[in-house]
Amino acid sequence: MIKTITCIGAGYVGGPTMAVMALKNPGIKFHIVDINQARIDAWMSDDLPIYEPGLDEVVKQTRGKNLFFSTDVAGAIKEGNMIFISVNTPTKKYGVGKGRAADLKFVELCARQIAQFAEEDKIVVEKSTLPVRTAQSIKKILSSTSNGHSFQVLSNPEFLAEGTAIDDLMKPDRVLIGGDQNEKGQKAISELVNVYSSWVPRENIITTNIWSSELSKLTANAFLAQRISSVNAISALCEATGADVEEVAYAIGTDSRIGPKFLKSSVGFGGSCFQKDILNLVYLCEFFGLHEVARYWEQVVSMNDYQKTRFASKIITTLFNTVSGKKIAFLGWAFKKDTNDTRESAAIYVADQLMNDEADISVYDPQVEEARMYKDMEELETRTMDRNKKQLSMTEDPYEACKDAHAIAVLTEWDEFKDLDWQRIYANMKKPAFLFDGRLILDRKALSDIGFEVYTIGKG
């Protein structure tokens, strides 16, 4: 019987996932721990560290009742009967597998800490996205360093998308749980099934062997990203031929075998997952000698890079082949609407390319903080911070961002951009006033009628 659940990692997954689980399981105590004190402080304040619609209410209803945050990793490990590992698994930036393999050092550290501090048998749940067969390494660390306690390792990948995390968690298409195909493994699976069953219909909880579960997560992300790269590849052909990518997407999406979702052409997918997980899949394929399979999936990332470059190049060529000294306004910096997350946001790469061409960029985003934006640019290591600060700025007012700009680029699909006073924006811009819609959210005809020269991805 599970009385206490511990989650290591209070990020975009750990925080919302445990908050919803706590809401739905008032009889279980949830303890979320993180090594990042500032993040834990923010979770305990009124200003949560992540912006996610509906999250505030869930945290308000559970925090201090059966949901607790702290940096006491050892204490939380001792206390939890079931321990979720929900730490980051970024692309490795050094050594073997650099630029492709997932960096599992944080996961390994969690396993070592669990083995060190556990004072009884535990169920350890992989919530982080991990390469297939990681559970084997976790088991090895647990069994070789523990003090005689036994551990069951489950894989329970998370499928939430940022911006809709609470809805996704409340009504998941499915929950996936993988475990060992023996008696102890099955018992551990049923413990976790019980936790989810308090709100997820049993038929939506899929149980598999542990390797299938691990691989399903990478595969799901690869398939989703592949759809975006496929429609983005067609967007380039639309522009060359006069076809309209939205009409094409609608036409193909009505085929029930294809379906309408995830066919929105854009400046390119961002976020912390898609690129990282596909590169990880590519690395795994290479590791197993499956070079053709690796090349196949690698193309999804290459096409995404092409789309971002194509968008930035379009801005430069349209602005008479130079953006040097010209002000370009960016509407949006987050990788998608309804989140403050900027990891791998297309905006970063478009800005970088335009700044290489000496553009001055003024950004407005309703949720992203200026310091985050500069950190994103710093991580690219393209130019000095001084240079970044000279060429890139953020304002809290979209009209200020667009004032005296030669062009506007829409990088995130925030709903509020549709309701801006576009007449006013046009009046205060340099002429000709260019508008590049990288998210297909604006009314192209209405903007053309105002006087803008509009470029929309995938429209001939």
From CA 460, how far away is CA 454, in angstroms rounded? 11
Of residues 66 and 226, the one with the C-beta less far from ligand UDX: 226
From CA 300, how far away is CA 204, in angstroms rounded? 29
From CA 460, how far away is CA 446, in angstroms rounded? 17
Residue 36 binding result from ligand NAD, ligand UDX, none, given CB thresholds of 5 to 8 Å by partner type: ligand NAD
Residue 9 binding result from ligand NAD, ligand UDX, none, given CB thresholds of 5 to 8 Å by partner type: ligand NAD
The three-class DSSP label of residue 370 is helix
**Which residue, chain included where needed, has tokens 């193309």?**
299
Binders in 80-99 for ligand NAD, by CB under 6 A: 86-89
Of residues 97 and 271, the one with the C-beta less far from ligand UDX: 271
Q: What angle do CA 154, 155, 160 make, to 5 degrees?
A: 140
The three-class DSSP label of residue 375 is helix
Of residues 176 and 429, the one with the C-beta less far from ligand UDX: 176
Phi and psi (nearest 5°) for 456? Answer: -120, 135
Contacts of residue 403, Cβ cutoff 8 Å, sequence gap at least 6: 428, 429
Report the greatest alpha carbon distance in the chain: 74
Q: For the residues of 88-118, what is the DSSP string, one character each?
A: --PBP-SSTTTTTSB--HHHHHHHHHHHHH-
> For ligand UDX, which residue has the nearest CB?
271
Residue 299's DSSP bridge partners are none
When asked if residue 101 is in the footprint of ligand NAD (CB under 6 A), the reply is no
Q: Choose, by CB under 6 A, the member of 106, 199, 296, 426 that binds ligand NAD.
A: 106
Q: How far is the CB of 158 from ligand NAD (least distance, A)?
A: 4
When asked if residue 279 is in the footprint of ligand NAD (CB under 6 A), the reply is no
Binders in 107-166 for ligand NAD, by CB under 6 A: 109-110, 128-129, 158, 160, 162
Of residues 336 and 406, the one with the C-beta less far from ligand UDX: 336
Of residues 128 and 353, the one with the C-beta less far from ligand NAD: 128
From CA 59, how far away is CA 22, in angstroms rounded? 9
Please report, as a single letter, which amino acid is at residue 284. Answer: L
Whole-angstrom CA distances from 34 to 123, 217, 273 are 19, 24, 20
Active-site amino acid positions: 273
C-alpha closest to that of 154 among 183, 116, 192, 103:
192
Q: How far is the CB of 344 from ligand UDX (least distance, A)?
A: 8
**Number of residues binding to ligand NAD, judged by CB under 6 A:** 27
When asked if residue 235 is in the footprint of ligand NAD (CB under 6 A), the reply is no
Of residues 8 and 205, the one with the C-beta less far from ligand NAD: 8
Residue 269 binding result from ligand NAD, ligand UDX, none, given CB thresholds of 5 to 8 Å by partner type: ligand UDX
Q: How far is the CB of 3 from ligand NAD (least distance, A)?
A: 22
Q: Which pair of structure tokens corresponds to residue 174?
A: 């499915």
Residue 179 binding result from ligand NAD, ligand UDX, none, given CB thresholds of 5 to 8 Å by partner type: none
Q: How far is the CB of 214 from ligand UDX (least distance, A)?
A: 14
Q: How far is the CB of 17 from ligand UDX (least distance, A)?
A: 11
Burial of 426 by CB count in 10 Å (0-12 exposed, 13-18 middle, 19+ buried)? middle
* Interaction site with ligand UDX (CB under 6 A): 158-162, 221, 224, 228, 262-264, 266, 269-271, 273-274, 335-336
Binders in 22-81 for ligand NAD, by CB under 6 A: 33-36, 39, 73
Binding site for ligand NAD (CB under 6 A): 8-14, 33-36, 39, 73, 86-89, 106, 109-110, 128-129, 158, 160, 162, 272-273
